[in-house]
């Protein structure tokens, strides 16, 4: 009961985090781009993108810790759990050192990578940024064990609240620093300090509240081989995902320079906000899905959670996607970062439209992890990631950021949309046909809402912020009303009504 409550509150807090991130992105990004300028903002985005590749050295162990900790807890094997945590602390410490060595190699080769498109000043600053972010990773890896432990114990409330504090604190302090004249270097130092502080608090929480003990000794290579057999596919999947979502900025940094990276980064930030709305629910479901697999759940039960989660995600994702397509151009140009970033709207649309399918099916990744069926997805993504690189390099030389985004969109459609849906249906046992029957039925009322919104835009063109905000609010209200009346089922209505009844019931009782 307590676990179910943590999952529900965790999911709610995940959406709170998303809303906060979105508000911060809307309010903070214009300040950041204005204070840094296009060139330095592009430089900062490029370096963080390059260093983010080193996070794949996690090797998928984070999910393995969650899976195996959950298993040992269910089996009441405390000693094995403690040895598992101790083993991974050592492994992650070694990984942190490896990340430091690779980061140092990248630092030494900044001139060779970006010397053709950057000035000497930009290259020197890039080296400083890369050095600080590498240090961040070296410390982050060993301490990240405790974050995975907290997730496996389903203590989502603590985890999310701590995350909210960090997210809010970062832009507040940074705005002060920006006004004092500090720029990208101060930004990465602040990010590093807050990140390490959060990880230390996680460590203290594990030891004081969860009574977690780490047992160190001889590494159990038999267990490690078993975990590696599971994790290797998640690791390769991380590489493919990182290529698909980060390669464009790297390619643009080599062939087009920091300004093109800045424009793409704004689009990428919009796309990341969009992605976060989907992963909020599935992000807290891995322990639950793992328990289902351990309890030998049927294909029908997995299909049920796949469809239920997908429908809820689709309600949210369709609102965001349709709203952005309708009003995103005016939002970027009039209200947000200005007309010099107008191309970001087109790039964001190209990235977001095909992504809606894998995003509303994101719980499927949890099912694949629990069933240990990641192999096919990784092979498929590997093929299309290579295709993405080739197409992105070719098209970015001709069309810049738009060309790079097209490469990513094509690989997404062929890989995570078409191929994965066939795999879910044929090999995982998910009733994809029933899933799409649900989605298509839900979509029909949405189409009429979109047509109505287009007519409103034609009658009342958007030329200032007030009209833009008014039309966005009006569209959201009409969308919610129509969806509630014609698209959602009784289960989904109860998800909305139960919290409202509790709130108003308490008020009446008071």
- The tens digit of pLDDT for each residue in 150-198 reads 988 878 788 888 989 998 999 999 999 888 888 889 988 998 999 999 9
CA pseudo-torsion sign 317, 323, 328, 331: negative
**Is 49 or 214 the better-scoring residue by pLDDT?**
214
CA pseudo-torsion sign 391, 392, 396, 402: positive
Whether residue 411 contacts residue 388, with contact meaning beta carbons closer than 8 Å, is answered with yes
Helix (H) or strand (E) holding 347: helix 343-360
Cα separation values, 288 from 2, 3, 154, 345, 399, Å: 13, 9, 9, 37, 45
Read off the pTM: 0.74
Residue 295: other Cβ atoms inside 10 A = 9
The verdict on residue 481 lying in a domain is no
**Is 83 or 250 the better-scoring residue by pLDDT?**
83
**Is 376 or 348 the better-scoring residue by pLDDT?**
348
Which residues, 6 or more positions from 499, have their beta carbon under 8 angstroms from its beta carbon? Answer: none
- The whole-chain average pLDDT of the chain stands at 86
Whether residue 449 contacts residue 479, with contact meaning beta carbons closer than 8 Å, is answered with yes
The verdict on residue 490 lying in a domain is no
What total number of domains does the chain contain? 1
Say whether pLDDT at 111 is over 60.
yes
Q: Using one digit for the tens of pLDDT, what is the confidence trace for 265-278?
A: 899 889 988 887 77
Determine the pLDDT at residue 468.
Answer: 95
The verdict on residue 158 lying in a domain is yes
The verdict on residue 59 lying in a domain is yes
Say whether pLDDT at 448 is over 50.
yes
What percent of the chain is modeled with pLDDT above 90? 36
Domain of residue 203 covers 1-250
The verdict on residue 244 lying in a domain is yes
Which residues, 6 or more positions from 480, have their beta carbon under 8 angstroms from its beta carbon? Answer: 319
Determine the pLDDT at residue 510.
Answer: 44
The verdict on residue 480 lying in a domain is no
The verdict on residue 106 lying in a domain is yes
Per-residue pLDDT band at 264 (split at 50, 70, 90): very high
Whether residue 131 contacts residue 107, with contact meaning beta carbons closer than 8 Å, is answered with yes
Determine the pLDDT at residue 3.
Answer: 56
**Angle subtended at Cα 106 by Cα 141 and Cα 29, rounded to the nearest 5 degrees:** 70
The verdict on residue 6 lying in a domain is yes
């Amino acid at each position: 009961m307590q676990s179910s409550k943590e999952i529900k509150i965790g999911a709610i807090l995940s959406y709170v985090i998303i809303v906060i991130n979105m508000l911060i992105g809307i309010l903070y990004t214009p300040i950041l781009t204005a204070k840094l300028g296009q060139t330095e903002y592009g430089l900062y985005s490029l370096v963080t993108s390059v260093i983010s590749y080193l996070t794949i050295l996690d090797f998928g162990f984070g999910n393995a810790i969650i899976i195996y900790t959950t298993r040992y807890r269910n089996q009441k094997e405390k000693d094995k759990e403690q040895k598992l945590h101790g083993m991974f602390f050592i492994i992650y410490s070694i990984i942190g050192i490896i990340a430091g060595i690779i980061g140092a190699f990248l630092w030494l080769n900044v001139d060779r990578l970006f010397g053709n498109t950057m000035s000497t000043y930009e290259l020197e600053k890039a080296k400083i940024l890369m050095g600080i972010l590498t240090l961040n990773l070296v410390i982050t890896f060993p301490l990240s064990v405790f974050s995975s432990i907290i997730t496996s114990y389903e203590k989502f409330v603590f985890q999310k609240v701590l995350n909210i504090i960090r997210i809010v604190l970062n832009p507040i302090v940074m705005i002060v620093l920006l006004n004092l004249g500090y720029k990208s270097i101060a930004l990465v130092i602040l990010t590093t300090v807050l990140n390490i502080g959060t990880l230390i608090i996680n460590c203290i929480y594990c030891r004081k509240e969860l009574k977690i003990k780490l047992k160190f000794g001889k590494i159990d290579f038999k267990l490690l081989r078993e975990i590696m057999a599971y994790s290797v596919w998640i690791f390769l999947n991380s590489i493919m995902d990182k290529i698909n979502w980060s390669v464009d900025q790297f390619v643009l940094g080599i062939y087009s320079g920091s300004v093109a990276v800045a424009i793409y980064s704004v689009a990428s930030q919009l796309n990341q906000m969009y992605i976060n709305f989907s992963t909020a629910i599935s992000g807290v479901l891995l322990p639950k899905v793992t328990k289902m697999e351990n309890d030998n759940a049927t294909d029908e039960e997995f299909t049920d959670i796949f469809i239920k989660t997908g429908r809820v995600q689709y309600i949210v994702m369709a609102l965001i996607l349709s709203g952005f397509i309708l009003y995103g151009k005016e939002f970027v140009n009039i209200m947000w970062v200005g007309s010099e970033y107008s191309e970001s709207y087109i790039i964001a649309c190209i990235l977001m439209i095909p992504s809606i399918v894998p995003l509303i099916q994101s719980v499927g990744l949890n099912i694949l992890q629990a069933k240990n069926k990641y192999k096919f997805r990784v092979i498929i993504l590997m093929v299309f990631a290579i295709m993405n690189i080739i197409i992105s390099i070719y098209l970015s030389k001709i069309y810049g950021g738009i060309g790079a985004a097209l490469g990513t969109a094509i690989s997404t459609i062929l890989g995570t949309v078409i191929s994965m849906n066939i795999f879910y249906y044929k090999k995982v046992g998910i009733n994809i046909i029933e899933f799409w029957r649900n989605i298509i039925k839900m979509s029909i009322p949405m189409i009429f809402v979109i047509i109505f919104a287009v007519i409103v835009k034609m009658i009342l063109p958007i030329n200032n912020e007030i009209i833009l905000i008014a039309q966005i609010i009006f569209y959201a209200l009409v969308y919610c009303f129509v969806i509630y009346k014609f698209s959602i089922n009784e289960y989904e209505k109860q998800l909305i009504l139960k919290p409202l009844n509790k709130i108003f019931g308490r008020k009446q009782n008071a």
